Structure 1
């Protein structure tokens, strides 16, 4: 006698499922079974319909299901500064334009509104999680929780005073926020010292101490430009990575952002210490910061993930575009067309980010028991036809606006291209208000 069907929350069938694990696998005409926010099974459509009695069924024969993308480096509130100072080198961009604009406008409300605008763009582009670094991380956490997205909230540390904190207060306020977010499954924290040139040794020692005690990652801009490295050598006689090594910062809990200036010895050290690298190719190209040696890092055994950086320096938060740029740039820099193939590029934007955050037991791939953070993308669009290789189409041909559905922990954030937890008209109005205020109109 056959068993009765099992009641579940959701059954989504699709023409293709790309689970990321195992690497390079594409499941055709399969379904994803979801209950209580977690993945129960991936199985052929006919078997799924016989086994489960879902409260909601969605049939998407022209779509591909895959894990939600993980944006491993954002300054999400800076979406309100998009385009304010383009076509400038990094230090001129920062010191002459961005820092003054932040100083004049920084507030809890600025960050809350900016994060909401950024999340709308990220969700519509298939992102379910982002790793943030900015002031007023409490505003970021509140916005993320209300929208139902997943995020690692950076506890910013910097030597400069800001509207968020004074020097000496950053770590204390960050610890208080960390404690307040305990028990919130969609939120975690990282320590986010801004960069070696903006954080003193004593603060970095405290970051190391608390990160070890609390077992949370450290997230930091490192070796972003040649000028940064040259300045450090001139002032201290040490390259930034050497200084961080002496301060015991190198380890598997460090997410090193940018890393465009690396010697062969430093590449080997990054791999040896298990440091994760967050690669932001489009921001690095736009600011002429340099090229991260992704192919050599991966060959050495380092885990490399991908991020967009902030919208003020990119100028978008399109992670599908970013992973494509990462793949193409790796080929050009290495002189090898086989460097960073399509499947690896998709892994960089999913599972590699989850590993860097210590969240890979829950997100980053579609496996039974993991959180139901997944997306559905329409492959029937003309720019992804004909479909010979699904993974190649996702990595090289897809437009992010082909993302039709997004779920986080089994809850829909995007249905048929429409946001479910954020209101576009409200976001546009807020963006206009801030533009008028920032430009004194």
Structure 2
């Protein structure tokens, strides 16, 4: 992805361009509508904004315009990676994949709670987050949603890394556990995030409290965070129906996830709701417009209809799901249902990289999904699901001059 500078004007030329100009978030049949495409395309930019998009043959460039020929590629608006865990980037390559969700947690959690190796540990973690953000920008991401704030200073570190890489981010401050929440006029913030936001008020408008999951966050906390987000116009996010172990735990109270969390996360008097994840989320009032659920692998047909009718968005993370051996989301049924769908990579603890285009390529190659739908999931849908204004995820006059190369698998 290229990011235009301030002056002089900068023009980009490419074999073709899919600008998505004028488009908003798409659902159901609208995902399959034809996409406008410009051949031998020009993007004229100034001060980091798009001034004009048109065929090169009609170009009348302002004096002093620099021209960058992008070559034999098709360009698209910059991508939205709607679900990441950047603060955990330092754990890349250090977790167990392919043996189920509980086995992955067993490899992850001890590293999260272990004491720092030395006084340089915060700096190493900061550098890992900075490298991850730089990679996101280089791969064509501009809009992103990040879940974090569970370790001291992590929220500020990730925000700093995002700003340095030129990313526009929504930071989801994750509640984990069943301790009584501190809820006051400032909102239901996790304690560590509350401290960081109080120390740096620039964080406040970019953050929202969120829940980890139905089995790992107290119901009162989930409800309070959802209600606060609804009242303040923030997006509320949580992991939903990710693994068979989650479904088993909530429905029966048993299984590998119970064994993993009992005595540490789950309180001694915890009782299962004896509901499947979607039904439990609905009973808690967690669904509806302004909600971004993540994963949805274990959703059944009737549940998909309920999710669509609620107006909630769903972020798919197919490569993470593959790596953790939790299954494949019912993507075709979701596409047809009218759910607002988008894509995320999850984090480097469960994925090879943070290039969200690779999620779309995986869905194209393994489920034969239409490229036009996938391009919308990558751009306008992801930006809308994160709460960015209409026009985010497009290349039209006034939009940020940020774009990505369309992968060959999606270029047809």
Normalising by structure 2, report the TM-score.
0.80
> 1:222, CA displacement in angstroms?
0.6
Shift of the alpha carbon at 1:225? 0.8
Q: What does residue range 10-409 of structure 1 map to in structure 2 within 5 Å? A: 10-21=10-21, 23-50=34-61, 52-53=62-63, 55-87=65-97, 88-94=99-105, 96-104=106-114, 109=123, 111-134=125-148, 135=150, 136-159=154-177, 168=182, 170-171=189-190, 174=193, 188-234=206-252, 235-331=272-368, 340-375=369-404, 377=405, 393-395=408-410
Q: CA deviation at 1:126?
A: 1.8
Instruction: Report deviation, 1:327.
Output: 2.5
CA contact (8 A) 2:142 2:166 kept: no
Verify the 8 A CA contact 1:11 1:57 in the aligned structure 2.
Answer: yes
Counterpart Cα distance in 1 of 2:227 and 2:123: 32
Contact 1:286 1:314 in 2 (8 A): yes
* Cα 1:74/1:266, change in 2 over 3 Å: same
Higher strand share: 1
Q: Deviations over 1:90-136 (max 9, x none)?
A: 11211x22111111257754542221121132223222232111232
Aligned residue-pair number: 362
RMSD over aligned Cα atoms: 2.8
Deviation at 1:62, TM superposition (A): 2.4
1:65–1:150: structure 2 CA closer, same or farther, 3 Å change rule?
same
Contact kept in structure 2, 1:15 and 1:62, CA below 8 Å:
yes
Does structure 2 conserve the Cα–Cα contact (< 8 Å) formed by 1:181 and 1:188? Answer: no
- 5+ residue gaps, structure 1: 1-6, 332-339, 378-390, 398-441
Q: Secondary structure at the match of 2:251?
A: helix
SS of structure 2 residue aligned to 1:12: strand
Distance 1:372 1:27, change over 3 A: same
Deviation at 1:231, TM superposition (A): 1.0
Structure 2 gaps of 5+ residues are 1-6, 24-33, 183-187, 253-271
TM-score (norm 1): 0.75
- Structure 2 match to 1:335: none
CA 1:97–1:300: 2 relative to 1, 3 Å: same
Shift of 1:171: 3.4
SS at match of 2:39: strand
Q: 1:192 to 1:115 in 2, by over 3 A?
A: farther
